[in-house]
């Protein structure tokens, strides 16, 4: 009986998300983590938001296009939620049901930080819409890669998307928003200070993931 219970626990899917400001290295660290999990023979799916579905990729292009200067923050929030709803229904929910690990670059916390704290939308409303879009699915672990906004924007490169082009003051609000979220859910949302060497940042990430395993 004990053996069966243990096996069920091991085979249960896990949902891990990466959060952070622009240029924090989320994509790179998420990839390194997926490689680490695969070496452990853990079935894992790597995702990013918005995207990974036909609909999500189209929405992504609209959201990041620098020509869409007239887009309101409410429109922006709803577009992110629409892409998220499709991703959850089409990929995340089925994968977790099959016992797979899902590693996603951004999720609901991003909308709370960027459109909520950064864009001054009501956080309570975002959470309400989020419950619909996510089907109530929450990450088991969220890794917040923290970097000073000015430095992060430098790392992001010369070609900026619509979000990256915003003023430094906006990105500072986003960072403070993430800190507030981490205080509300310290068990789930772990702050990972970005180190100069990628492997050192990854070591901190693996420490938290190993605890989850």
Query: In CATH, which of 3.30.70.20, 3.40.50.300, 3.30.360.10, 3.30.2130.30 is domain 16-212?
Result: 3.40.50.300
For strands 44-48 and 101-105, give the pairing: parallel
Q: Are 15 and 96 in contact (CB under 8 A)?
A: yes
The dihedral formed by the CA atoms of 125, 126, 131 and 134, expressed in degrees to the nearest 10:
160
Q: Out of 8-17, 157-166, 171-180, which region has the weakest mean confidence (pLDDT)?
A: 8-17
In this prediction, residue 2 carries a pLDDT of 45
Is the pLDDT confidence value at 116 over 50?
yes
- Three-state SS for 152? helix
- E-state strands within the chain: 14-20, 44-48, 101-105, 141-146, 189-193
What is the structure's pLDDT at 140? 98
- Tens digit of each residue's pLDDT (9 = 90 or more) over 35-62: 999 999 999 999 999 999 999 999 999 9
By the 8 A CB rule, do 79 and 62 touch? yes
| Whether residue 4 has pLDDT greater than 80 | no
Q: Is the pLDDT of residue 31 over 80?
A: yes
- Predicted TM-score (pTM) of this structure: 0.93
14 by DSSP, 3-state: which?
strand
Helix (H) or strand (E) holding 134: helix 123-134
pLDDT of 12: 75
Res 9: pLDDT? 43
| Other Cβ atoms within 10 Å of 67 Cβ, number | 8
pLDDT-derived band at 1, boundaries 50, 70, 90: very low
- pLDDT of 3 reads 41
Q: Does residue 211 surpass a pLDDT of 90?
A: yes
Give pLDDT tens digits for 136-160: 999 999 999 999 999 999 998 878 9
Summarize pLDDT for 85-105 with one digit per residue, the tens. 999 999 999 999 999 999 999
Q: Is the pLDDT of residue 11 over 90?
A: no
């Amino acid at each position: 009986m004990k053996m069966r219970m243990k096996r069920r626990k091991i085979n249960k899917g896990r949902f891990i998300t990466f959060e952070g400001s622009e240029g924090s290295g989320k994509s790179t660290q998420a990839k390194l983590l997926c490689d680490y999990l695969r070496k452990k023979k853990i079935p894992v799916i790597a995702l990013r938001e918005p995207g990974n579905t036909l609909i999500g990729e189209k929405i992504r292009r609209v959201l990041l296009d620098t020509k869409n200067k007239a887009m309101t923050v409410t429109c922006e929030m709803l577009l992110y939620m629409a892409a998220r709803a499709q991703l959850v229904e089409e990929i995340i929910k089925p994968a977790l049901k099959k016992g797979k690990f899902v590693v996603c670059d951004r999720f609901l916390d991003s909308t709370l930080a960027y459109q909520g704290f950064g864009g001054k939308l009501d956080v309570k409303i975002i959470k309400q819409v989020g419950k619909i879009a996510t089907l109530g699915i929450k990450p088991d672990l969220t890794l917040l890669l923290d970097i000073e906004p000015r430095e992060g924007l430098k790392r992001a490169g010369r070609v900026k998307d619509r979000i990256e082009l915003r003023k430094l003051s906006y990105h500072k609000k986003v960072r403070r928003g993430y800190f507030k979220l981490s205080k509300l859910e310290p068990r789930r949302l772990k702050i990972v200070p970005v180190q100069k060497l990628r492997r050192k940042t990854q070591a901190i990430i693996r420490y938290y993931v190993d605890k989850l395993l």
